[in-house]
Amino acid sequence: MVAEKESESVTPAIPRARPKPRPIVQLGIFLISHSLLFSVVFSTAGVLALLLLPVLAKNTYISENALMPGSVAPMLSNQEVAEANRLVKDLTSLNSKPLASAIGSQRLISQYMSNLGAEVSHHKFHSQLNQFHPLHFFSSPDSGRVEQNISCALLGVNTVGIIRAPRGDGKEAIVLVTPFNSVKLNQNEALSLAIAYSVFSLLTRVPWLAKDVIWLVADSQFGEYSGVAAWLRDYHTPVFSGLGTLDAEMCPESNNIYGLNENLFTERTIYDGFKRAGTMAAALVIKVADRSEQYEDSLSIYAEASNGQMPNLDLINIVNYLAVHRQGLRVKVEKFWPFLGLKWLKTLGEIFESLGHLARSVNPQWKFGIPAADYIEGSATLASSLYHQALGVPTGPHGAFRDYQVDAITLEIFPKVSSLDNKVRQNDFLLRSGRLIEGVIRSVNNLLEKFHQSFFLYLLTSPGKFVSVGVYMIAFALLVAPLPMVAASLYVDASNSDYSLKIDKPAPLGNASDEPCITLKSWKWLFAAKKVFFVHLWGSVVSLLPYFICQIPSCTPTTSFLIWVFLSILSLVVMYIVLASPSSHANESQLQRGEWAILKSVTLSAAFIGLCLMSVINFATAEIGGLLMVPMCLMAHPLKLDVKARSIRTVSRVVYNLVLGFIGFPPVAFIVLKGAFEGFSGVNVGDFWSWVESLWAWNSATYLYIGMVHLPCWVLCIHILFHRC
């Protein structure tokens, strides 16, 4: 027994086989080991997928069956048009008088509303100054309280009329908005009021109305957006006082509008207070353009709101369907006109058209490819949609509604040239436009709940075609996919390299002497992570600097921009001195002088995280930012090493890095793009400050992206280029 135990004790242990990695792990290892190849393939595929989006666009369709657009004949008749023409005539004659005032126009509109039996009230507001404040990016819309130092000259008055639905319970409402400059009225605004009034007068008599209708005549003397935003702000913020006494001590002369005589309205009254209806189901902003079309009446749809928000696609679909198939209007969406003349885009469209013919010859069921002309127009429309969504600035007063999760669009109607000079043509124009608005209201009136069936995330390539989020996100995913792969590859290569941590006074031989070296070497990426963190922290400081620059009086945009640049550089130097102590910086310079690869790895990871987060907030900003940032980050390589090599490849990389680094600087990118499409004759550095000023005035997330993602990554790439190695 003892011998058996001794024999068992000396038997050698059989080594256990290492488990086979899972397929997903094997795929990751394969992608990392071939990161250079796949980064080129994925980046090219991302750009190609973006160019293919106009080809992959689908026809729009109405998802919500309850809308039923055009299912009944319109009820708007020449009687309502005649009443609307009478309003236009009275407004025009009042405006032609030398002593006419803004209050007189408001009184006239109130009288017409009240004669229809609507509940009429006036909303007084003060124009809000667009001043930068850092907390506005993280707060709800401003409460709009009037400050003591605001002049009474900045006072505006909105006129509001409400029709209570005979078949409703007052819990839902549809909003009609007509911008109206009470100081200086023109014919186009008068026609906008006429279209809205004709529909409003019809809705006071129809029996099928199930939602209240609000007609907001927004005072646009301070801009079309200002009056609508102020009214919405007060609509969603209860005020427990009458408007007749609100701020009366500050602007007593403004209260004349509330002193209207009741006998002027034949037993009708103007309500002294803020009147409300139910939850807003949808909103339509009606405008008649100040320019005309040559051949036919047309309609332009503006849908972009702040930070790339879009209304439900069904709202655009019913407008497009009713305008084209019921009223014979030509529907347009905004295009990026410089794209229509690009020769390379025309060539690309012809290539896609040829590929489409080839695909259909192989299999007639393959529906790939569109005509080259449609591709060019679709690309111009797609570029405009991307640009306006990335800008984050609303394209019309409808943008104020999206801040309160209300689906809204702006309808700008273009009459035919000289059609309004003819009375018959003007009546026909008002009739067709009014019936279009009536049809949209009737469809929204059929809804039992809010818009939810169709898409909220989409890009338009034409009024009847769109690209959904499931398609355009593929292009973005392919574009940014190389960032984590190259970051992982650089980290693995740096970890497996022969570079070792040098210590000035090595310890005696022994196991204890190796522990500090192994520990510090395994955590050497912390030096790069600290540097990346400090640079992004500096980016947040740069984003807050305009708050202090705006306090400087009488400062031109160019001067403000130069002050911003100087303070940004100064803050970077101060943070470098304060946050990096001399001792730690000395150790870092000795230990990390050759670790530019680790720094680039962490920079790529930070750029990837920033772009992915931005794609959730605003896809268009992330896509355009990725087109600039991804090549710059991937190509970043120390110029010192490339100059020493002196080969064609390294010299080419030096040139590419210098060009990408120059174009990647946000002010330079803005000036280059603006000059390419508008000409360099009138471009100056002050334009960048004005553009950034508009971003923070509208609380655009693009401003935060530039200051806290793009600019820090650009600084890190420049640091890598000039690394001492």
Mean pLDDT of the region 514-536: 70
pLDDT tens per residue, range 413-432 = 988 765 556 788 888 899 99
The pLDDT value given to residue 500: 43
pLDDT value at 243 more than 90: no
Mean pLDDT of the region 459-484: 92
The pLDDT value given to residue 181: 86
* pLDDT confidence band for 222 (50 / 70 / 90): confident
Mean pLDDT of the region 139-146: 48
Mean pLDDT of the region 508-532: 61
Long-range Cβ contact pairs of 606-613 (< 8 A, separation 24 or more): 606/532, 606/536, 606/712, 606/713, 606/716, 607/483, 607/633, 607/709, 607/713, 608/480, 608/483, 608/484, 608/487, 610/705, 610/708, 610/709, 610/710, 610/713, 611/480, 611/483, 611/709, 612/480
The pLDDT value given to residue 590: 46
pLDDT tens per residue, range 602-650 = 999 999 999 999 999 999 999 999 999 999 999 998 888 888 888 888 8
Mean pLDDT of the region 350-359: 89
pLDDT value at 386 more than 80: yes
Among 24-33, 193-202, 280-289, 487-496, the range scoring the smallest mean pLDDT is: 24-33
Name which of 271, 270, 273 is nearest 241 in CA terms. 273
DSSP state of 416: B
DSSP state of 340: G
* pLDDT confidence band for 134 (50 / 70 / 90): low
Among 168-172, 454-458, 656-660, the range scoring the smallest mean pLDDT is: 168-172
Among 311-320, 325-334, 514-523, the range scoring the smallest mean pLDDT is: 514-523
Provide the percentage of residues in the chain whose pLDDT is more than 90. Answer: 37
CB 717 within 8 A of CB 633: yes
State how far the Cα of 447 lies from the Cα of 342, in Å rounded to an integer: 44
Alpha helices (H) in 461-556, listed in sequence order: 469-480, 482-496, 511-522, 525-549
The pLDDT value given to residue 167: 84
pLDDT value at 379 more than 60: yes
pLDDT value at 246 more than 50: no
CB 409 within 8 A of CB 315: yes
Domain borders along the chain are 71-128+154-235+269-334+395-455, 485-501+516-578+592-722
Among 200-204, 277-281, 516-520, 611-615, the range scoring the smallest mean pLDDT is: 516-520
State how far the Cα of 604 lies from the Cα of 143, in Å rounded to an integer: 41
DSSP state of 397: T
The pLDDT value given to residue 253: 47
Name which of 311, 330, 352, 591 is nearest 452 in CA terms. 311
Architecture of domain 71-128+154-235+269-334+395-455: 3-Layer(aba) Sandwich (3.40)
pLDDT value at 261 more than 50: no
Range ranked top by mean pLDDT from 105-109, 570-574, 575-579, 673-677: 570-574
Look-up of token digits 């019936």:
435
* pLDDT confidence band for 376 (50 / 70 / 90): very high
Q: Which residue has the higher pLDDT, 445 or 140?
A: 445
For 72, the token pair is 């009944």
Q: Please name every residue paired with 330 in a beta bridge, in sequence order, or none if there are none.
A: 298
The pLDDT value given to residue 511: 47
pLDDT value at 199 more than 90: yes
* pLDDT confidence band for 1 (50 / 70 / 90): very low
pLDDT value at 298 more than 80: yes
* pLDDT confidence band for 297 (50 / 70 / 90): confident
State how far the Cα of 440 lies from the Cα of 196, in Å rounded to an integer: 13
> Beta strands 279-288 and 119-126: pairing type?
unpaired
pTM of the model: 0.85
State how far the Cα of 476 lies from the Cα of 127, in Å rounded to an integer: 40
- What is the chain's mean pLDDT, rounded? 81
The pLDDT value given to residue 700: 85
Q: Which residue has the higher pLDDT, 130 or 645?
A: 645
For 645, the token pair is 């090599």
The pLDDT value given to residue 709: 94
Q: Which residue has the higher pLDDT, 704 or 246?
A: 704
How large is the angle between the packed helices 35-51 and 619-635, nearest 10 degrees? 150
State how far the Cα of 95 lies from the Cα of 254, in Å rounded to an integer: 20
The pLDDT value given to residue 360: 85
The pLDDT value given to residue 656: 92
Name which of 259, 277, 252 is nearest 170 in CA terms. 277
